[in-house]
Amino acid sequence: MEHPFFQNGFLILGHRGVPGEAPENTLSSFRLAKMQGADGIELDIRQCKTGELIVIHDARLNRTTSGRGFVRAKTLQQLKGLHITGADYQERIPTLEEVFREFIDEMILNVEIKGHPRKADGVEQKLIALIRRYNAVDRVIVSSFNPIPLRRIRKLAPEIATAFLVDRKFFVHRSEKAIVKLAGIHAIHLEAHLATPPLVKRLRDLGLHVLLWGEFPFERIPELKTMPLDGIITDYPKQVRQILEGLQP
């Protein structure tokens, strides 16, 4: 049976919001993606010292915040005392629950689990509990470059959609079946440079859905739209939306 997440049509997801116009992975960036016509947002999560799920890309705080050190070594109170670098306002690091509270009723969420923990650290259970509490099974997909947390989610909550992230460092030729068997995933999130009609068809023939991410020239969008894709994760949701609307008969 088709997973309800993939009944939302062709999706345009703002990659960390709209990072070129607002600080990445912030509520302001997500609000801007919504204003620009995105169907949803892609965001990254890590667990902090006190156990909360925090929306941030890097393992260290240095690049995007006024803090230093590892996210996992800081309490939520310490993290909330920081401000986001480059913001002209008092933007703070959001928790995943804050994002759910504001956006889950109106937007699709792609939650990417960051990091490669050597053992289970409870992230999957907390994420599952949050999705269930907000009755958001049809509006959330969980992705990762690491198939292990995806496998855990599949075992604990098979009703939640999962996607394995593939970039140029991971050569997918003839390996799709192994990944599907290991993680039990629903989708591949494929770096756009790897997207060719034969590969996308092969993935679809395996029963996998396919979303694209990464940089690509806007001129490729008409070509990409001819492939059996489920959506695009992009830094430029407004421009992608305008081009796709222009392609409609």
* Catalytically annotated residues: 15, 57
Rounded Cα gap, residues 190 and 163, in angstroms = 10
Q: Which of 176, 180, 110, 114 is nearest to 149 (CA)?
A: 114
Do 70 and 45 meet the contact criterion of CB atoms below 8 Å apart?
no
In the structure encoding, which two tokens stand for residue 176, read together?
């799709």
State the angle between helix axes of 27-35 and 96-103 in degrees (0 to 180), rounded to the nearest 10: 30
Rounded Cα gap, residues 232 and 224, in angstroms = 9
Q: What angle do CA 190, 104, 184 make, to 5 degrees?
A: 40
